[in-house]
Amino acid sequence: MPTYEYHCKACGEKFETMISSAEKNKVRCPACQSRNLQEVYGFNVIKGSSQAEVCQSCPAAEKGCRLAN
């Protein structure tokens, strides 16, 4: 199951959640229960990009690969 990262526009909370794509519209902020969320696109959820796989196995990833930040 993919991990999605969200930024809550209501209170500023940032959190990650593991959900299926069908549940994306049910996500709420764990801090304030708001649904006013901005999805943060990380390197592991880039769709249709081979860069994601390259980056995850990249030896530089743990040292701060720019794609991971």
Comparing CA positions, the residue from 12, 6, 10 lying closest to residue 34 is 10
For the beta sheet containing 37-40, the strands, ordered from the edge strand earlier in sequence to the opposite edge, are: 14-18, 3-8, 37-40
Q: Closer CB to Zn ion, residue 5 or residue 13?
A: 13
Tell whether residue 5 is a contact of Zn ion (CB under 5 A): no
Site string for Zn ion, 11-50 (x = CB under 5 A): x-x---------------x-xx-x----------------
Supply 32's token pair: 């304030």
The C-alpha atoms of residue 64 and residue 68 are separated, in whole angstroms, by 7
CB of residue 11 vs Zn ion: minimum separation in angstroms? 3
Give contact residues for Zn ion (rule: CB under 5 A).
Answer: 8, 10-11, 13, 29, 31-32, 34
